[in-house]
Structure 1
Amino acid sequence: MTGNFELLCLENPLLDIQGQGDDKLLEKYGLKANDAILAESKHMDLYEDLIQNHSAKLIAGGAAQNTARGAQYILPPDSVVYVGCVGKDKYAETLKEACAKAGLRVEYRYDEEQPTGRCGVVITGHNRSMCTDLAAANCYKLDHLKGEEVWGLVEKAKVYFVGGYHLTVCVDAVMALAEEAASKNKIFMLSLSAPFICQFFKDPLDKTAPYWDYVIGNETEALAYAESHSLNTTNIEEIATALAKLPKKNEKRDRTVIITQGTDPTIVAAAGKDGKVDVKSFPVHEIGEEKINDTNGAGDAFAAGFVAGVVQGSDLATSVDMGQWIAKLSIQELGPSYPFPKQTYSASS
């Protein structure tokens, strides 16, 4: 069986430049051991430093592109299309080839001036510090999404997944998908992506909030949201409940909030028709620490499995289980990757 491009993902395609580092390297560039930031001028030497001095690997990245590849890993061929902006350079071709190998269809906008975006990933133990220079990824335009071919794919898709990082780039494109979903009763899913999105891009994030059918984040993003929105709590279940209760544009669909917590249970808050919120806790799939290779992209992988479950029409528990299953596979690989030969999902006992 093959799909009909039921899932469309939008965000910032990046080339991940991933190398082993230490506290000295983090200190050199003013980075934290487990963080995600946008690059400033002081960070621009990091990328070449990783390549020249830290045996960096070049991997197709960008959070939602990782999620798109992972969802396609699970779903039938031709199920997923990914949209974003790259430069006209060899790194764009590297990304395109990697996605083609994964069976992912990409519809890139090619910017004439900026190079393909890159993300420096400094690995220290099981931590990773991500420093992103968006470059061409920052140049996405609404007219590309609205173009005949790409908008035809938008109309064909049943589920839209948007990475929150795109709120720093083209809010109009995010809102176009959100409004299309609400008007056609399709599913709109957003990832909070990073604490700084909740802190410094609060207004565009809040603009999308009424359209969330599903919103995914981790505990640090949830805490950042709570702080920036004065929720006066650090309890993850209470934060998830508050998100679930936010006003909603498409009242035909209830909102579901998913908060991952690393090795701690995944919290899911599902709003009901009666206004009540059902909160559940799902223990994560256990894995020996000696099997963990790299946690970079684990959240993207979880989102991949979860959204694949949604596309398939699976129930909530199965979708969470699929997310945890593929996240467990991913952290045994280098970078945001998935094992080959391809493994097939089976429900955990």
Structure 2
Amino acid sequence: MTCLRQNALFGMGNPLLDICAVVDKDFLDKFEELVKKFKVEYYAGGSTQNSVKVAQWMIQQPHKVATFFGCIGKDKFGDILKKKAEEAHVDAHYYEQNEQPTGTCAACITGDNRSATTFKKLSLRSLVANLAAANCYNKERHLDQKENWQLVEKAKVYYIAGFFITVSTESILKVANHVSENNKILGLNLSAPFISQFFKEDLMKIIPYVDILFGNETEAATFAREQGFETEDIKEIAKKAQSLPKVNEKRQRVIVFTQGKEDTIMATADNVTTFPVIDIKQDEIVDTNGAGDAFVGGFLSQLVHDQPLEKCIQAGHYAANVIIRRSGCTFPEAPDFH
């Protein structure tokens, strides 16, 4: 593998502090009591941050290969989020402001009386997200600052979840222009159907710069309808998405669509290939919420090493398989991927 340096992977998105707790069934209407009443565990979360966190876990050494930009508040949860990013060995450089509190995502698990670190066979998991400060990212006050832009320039692979389009399309486009002009690699995730529906104009400003487009089968279908592809066949959707106009013609676009337990689809300029996911028994699945983010993280961990696309997908499948056996986007101390 190639010898990696710090800040080789760059991610920009909506940072959230994931707050996880096992709670009483009566508690689901009282989320404000979460931190006061129950023993909670904190994790650095948000879609893009999850992916770069998983990528860093898969890479292991050197630490801080992954850089992350996003907006948080100057508050207690912001301090915790910075600490958790540091523990994950992610080089997080947050834009900190006073107008909004740090974004959070509360995961409340009900069912039995197991501890917050033992999630098997829990009956119900409720998620409540409050983006708050994550919506306040400011290009001029953060991305444009010399010391921050120098970190952007250091990277070779870039990844942004589509959710960030709702926050700062201009920031994405500045990064995208740099990537294209320097023949680097930009990955973008469709993230959710509403991005293709309600933020279509901004999305299609970015697509010409995208080298690798990620999404799941539902997101792909919505993207196809909005683009008038006139097909519901996911392989055909991938081919049509691959052939959309592209700014940097030195790199052919790659499309990667996951389908849960079904085969992952990859479209290149030459062909469309399918890759079976790793088998897992139904009773071994704990939480599928972080699977997509984990897949991308595993993929990026090999992409930054200049590994073949097939190896990137294998790593994505491995990472997703690890994460769905646990609650939240969490993982053991070290990966076992060969």
TM class by smaller structure: 0.7 to 0.9
- Of 168, 173, 176, which aligns to 1:175? 173
Is 2:138 aligned against 1:141?
yes
CA shift digits 1:272-309 (9 cap, x unpaired): 4xxxxx10000001112222221121100000011111
Provide the secondary structure at the position in 2 that maps to 1:4.
coil
Q: CA deviation at 1:197?
A: 0.9
Residues 330 and 339 of structure 1 are in contact (CA less than 8 Å); yes or no, is this contact kept in structure 2? Answer: no
Separation in structure 2 between the aligned mates of residue 202 and residue 63 of structure 1, nearest angstrom? 20
Aligned residues: 322
Q: CA deviation at 1:148?
A: 1.3
Is 2:98 aligned against 1:112?
yes
CA RMSD in angstroms, aligned pairs only: 2.5
In the alignment, structure 1 segments of 5+ residues that lack a partner are: 29-44, 273-277
Residues 18 and 50 of structure 1 are in contact (CA less than 8 Å); yes or no, is this contact kept in structure 2? Answer: no
Q: What is the identity, as a one-letter code, of the residue corresponding to 1:345?
A: F
Q: Which residue in the other structure is 1:4 paired with?
A: 6
Q: CA deviation at 1:12?
A: 0.5
Q: What is the identity, as a one-letter code, of the residue corresponding to 1:288?
A: K
Is 2:57 aligned against 1:73?
yes
Q: Which residue in the other structure is 1:298 paired with?
A: 291
Provide the secondary structure at the position in 2 that maps to 1:154.
helix
Q: Which residue in the other structure is 1:344 paired with?
A: 336
Is 2:37 aligned against 1:59?
no
Q: Which residue in the other structure is 2:319 paired with?
A: 326
Is 2:94 aligned against 1:102?
no
CA shift digits 1:60-101 (9 cap, x unpaired): 210000001111112232311111000011111111111111
Matches within 5 A, 1:122-141: 130-141=127-138
Separation in structure 1 between the aligned mates of residue 106 and residue 322 of structure 2, nearest angstrom? 23
% of aligned pairs identical?
Answer: 41
Q: CA deviation at 1:228?
A: 2.0
In the alignment, structure 2 segments of 5+ residues that lack a partner are: 111-121
Q: CA deviation at 1:105?
A: 0.7
Task: Report the CA distance shift for 1:197/1:111 in structure 2 as closer, same or farther (over 3 A).
Answer: same
Separation in structure 2 between the aligned mates of residue 294 and residue 55 of structure 1, nearest angstrom? 20
Separation in structure 1 between the aligned mates of residue 279 and residue 12 of structure 2, nearest angstrom? 31
Separation in structure 1 between the aligned mates of residue 31 and residue 252 of structure 2, nearest angstrom? 43
- Of 236, 241, 245, which aligns to 2:239? 241
Provide the secondary structure at the position in 1 that maps to 2:304.
helix
Q: What is the identity, as a one-letter code, of the residue corresponding to 2:326?
A: E
Q: What is the identity, as a one-letter code, of the residue corresponding to 2:16?
A: L
Provide the secondary structure at the position in 2 that maps to 1:312.
coil
Choose 230-239 or 67-76, whichever is displaced more.
230-239
Choose 137-146 or 1-10, whichever is displaced more.
1-10
Q: CA deviation at 1:133?
A: 2.2
Q: Which residue in the other structure is 1:13 paired with?
A: 15
